Chain A
């Protein structure tokens, strides 16, 4: 939160059921501003800039055998074309023809043998020869070396 007109925010604790506790939020903000900067004034109006919520709970459908769980970012209906191509990759000083996998197309249960490169949207996973990876129910890669 910040005062209307400011450009920087201070983290302000917000109680449960914010709808009935705005006065408390207001007081918390003045206090947080005072602690951060040594000054605060009721003369200025506080403003929310962003609200964050932490929620805890049990996720349904959890388990290694659940083939229905779809990893985030998976393309709808795209289950077959997981190999995008191949290129030479140097492992331990040797150039080896290596398959390139599209991470977004991988489904739980898929096993990949190294050598392989798994390309994610913003990174890639390199599987060395003789290692392997298994896609688990949440879409994580479980790698055995």
Chain B
């Protein structure tokens, strides 16, 4: 598709570049304003929101990549809103709200606000602002009830008019306020979204006033075509072929069975077909992914390899065709619960796609990440006032090793650029105490280039509390690629004040696996602990330079035992130096045992 030449002329490069930057700038302004004006820590501290602008046909023009998982999902929300009310009915000052997973939404906490932007009576485009609202009702704090019906996850809003002529729909607002555990955030966060949208409106109108609406529209068409061209060129660099991979979620929380993501990438010159045939059917528990969420995960997972520097807009979607089986947990329909889709499920989609790409472009492949968000929601009662607080955090893990370097430590999965809740803010606001947030030794997948490390987060609850976590990789860790090893499994636990360990999710010392997607009650004084995992390793760990293993040992990244067993490097613990003879023996023994090492080394080079 090439629409640049609809009126037979193209913008000069300077005007093009100014307009392209303007579209990005508008989104940056929206995000600054939303973050600074917001009332809830999830928005102002953890940055769980996204803002974007669209052309008059609701194609994505520019965005802030706060949460990539929001981005491609947001235009489905906007389209659903406009479709419901009809293009002709739109007026300046209309703002629609929607969170319906089956009509362009993802999970109920992601509230999406869509505003048409007019210029001299014509629709210039749309501004869309999405934020994760702390609590919109449901059977447990944050909607994390882990039930089997969407009704248990909160208030479901089909497209509704939140503002008319810039005036709030008070009836609707009162319903929302009456259906949340955190009413104190609602009006303030809503005002912050309004602020973001009005800034976008003012900026877009200013740009149209300066350059004229026809020039701005031409610029909109050309930035989309520009990104499309760069994306198609990038696809041409991937060898034609069919690439296939599988990853699993540990559980849907209801059954103990793993849930399968199966993906086949068909690369054909300048286009890719992404087919999820073979993935599991809808599951009972709350990890089903609606179409908008699955599409989003595909787009941003591929974006890492398809001209990541190209402006992030709908032009990058055009060469990608997505095929979703009608009955699939990745194509959720009413009333399948979806609360875990944005974090747990989208990250598994990414892991499967990256694994498939490791066959297609081994020289550029990246081993999967910890593929989680480890998003937990906790309601805790202040022992003095009796007041109930709801908070969330998302302890990150590591990214996978690459052909060039080790994976990043403790970095959010590609699904979101969210930040941790800072301990200082958390302790001020909530009756909790942050005990630790540090690197977890031996949590990375060993490799010639190992994965990045996972972390340990420990929080003491000062009052009785209930906690629920969306997590996975608790049976086995992150898969390695190109001969790299898997990482250690994740574990969620409660440590009682008298020192007892109670594994909430993952494998306990007796070897038994505990289903993590079940809420847990904690007593005052209990310590809640999440051990996250690292990224998968890349390449045979027996080929890692011994000096780098020693460095990792000195940094506390690997223990002596892991250095010896996983890397074949024997370190003298008192001097911190390599025992060269013992190392040579250990590695020779390994080479003998595994004839494959040489072949993998060749593949890795």
Q: In the complex, which residues of chain A have a beta carbon less than 8 angstroms from the beta carbon of B212?
A: none
- Do B198 and A6 touch across chains, with their CB atoms under 8 A apart? no
- Do A5 and B195 touch across chains, with their CB atoms under 8 A apart? no
Told that A33-B37, A36-B36 touch, could you supply 11 new A-B pairs with CB distance under 8 A? A5-B185, A8-B36, A37-B33, A37-B195, A38-B33, A39-B191, A39-B192, A39-B194, A39-B195, A44-B187, A44-B191
Q: In the complex, which residues of chain B have a beta carbon less than 8 angstroms from the beta carbon of A101?
A: none
Q: In the complex, which residues of chain A have a beta carbon less than 8 angstroms from the beta carbon of B582?
A: none
Q: How large is the interface on A (under 10, 10 to 19, 20 to 34, 35 or more residues)?
A: 10 to 19
Contact of A7 among B44, B194, B199, B202 (CB under 8 A): B44
Q: Is the interface of A mostly helix, strand, loop or mixed?
A: loop
Nearest to A9 among chain B residues (CB) is B36
Within 8 A of A (CB), among B403-439: 425
Q: In the complex, which residues of chain A have a beta carbon less than 8 angstroms from the beta carbon of B36?
A: 6-8, 36-37
- Do B194 and A6 touch across chains, with their CB atoms under 8 A apart? no
- Do A39 and B37 touch across chains, with their CB atoms under 8 A apart? yes
- Do B198 and A39 touch across chains, with their CB atoms under 8 A apart? yes
Binary per-residue interface labels of chain A (5-47) against chain B in the complex, 1 for a CB within 8 Å, 0 otherwise: 1111000000000000000000000000100111101011000
Q: In the complex, which residues of chain A have a beta carbon less than 8 angstroms from the beta carbon of B185?
A: 5
Cβ-based interface call for B188 (8 A): yes
- B residues with CB within 8 A of A: 33, 35-41, 44-45, 184-185, 187-188, 191-192, 194-195, 198-199, 202, 425
Q: Distance (Å) between the CB of B169 and the closest chain A CB?
A: 15
Contact of B41 among A7, A41, A43 (CB under 8 A): A7
Given A38-B195, A38-B199, A39-B194: A5 and B188 interface contact (C-beta under 8 Å): yes
- Do B39 and A37 touch across chains, with their CB atoms under 8 A apart? no
Nearest to B197 among chain A residues (CB) is A38
- Do A3 and B195 touch across chains, with their CB atoms under 8 A apart? no
Q: Distance (Å) between the CB of B19 and the closest chain A CB?
A: 23
A3 to B36, CA, bound (A): 11
A-B contact list, 8 entries, CB within 8 Å: A3-B188, A5-B184, A6-B36, A8-B44, A38-B202, A39-B37, A43-B187, A44-B191
A33 to B188, CA, bound (A): 13
A98 to B333, CA, bound (A): 79
A37 to B187, CA, bound (A): 15
Binary per-residue interface labels of chain A (44-56) against chain B in the complex, 1 for a CB within 8 Å, 0 otherwise: 1000000000000
Nearest to A43 among chain B residues (CB) is B187
Nearest to B36 among chain A residues (CB) is A8
Q: In the complex, which residues of chain A have a beta carbon less than 8 angstroms from the beta carbon of B40?
A: 5
Q: Which of B37, B38, B184 has the most CB of A within 10 A?
A: B37
Nearest to B43 among chain A residues (CB) is A7
- Do B39 and A3 touch across chains, with their CB atoms under 8 A apart? yes
Q: In the complex, which residues of chain B have a beta carbon less than 8 angstroms from the beta carbon of A6?
A: 36-39, 44, 188
Q: Distance (Å) between the CB of A7 and the closest chain B CB?
A: 4
A39 to B36, CA, bound (A): 12
Q: In the complex, which residues of chain B have a beta carbon less than 8 angstroms from the beta carbon of A43?
A: 187
A37 to B192, CA, bound (A): 8
- Do A5 and B35 touch across chains, with their CB atoms under 8 A apart? no
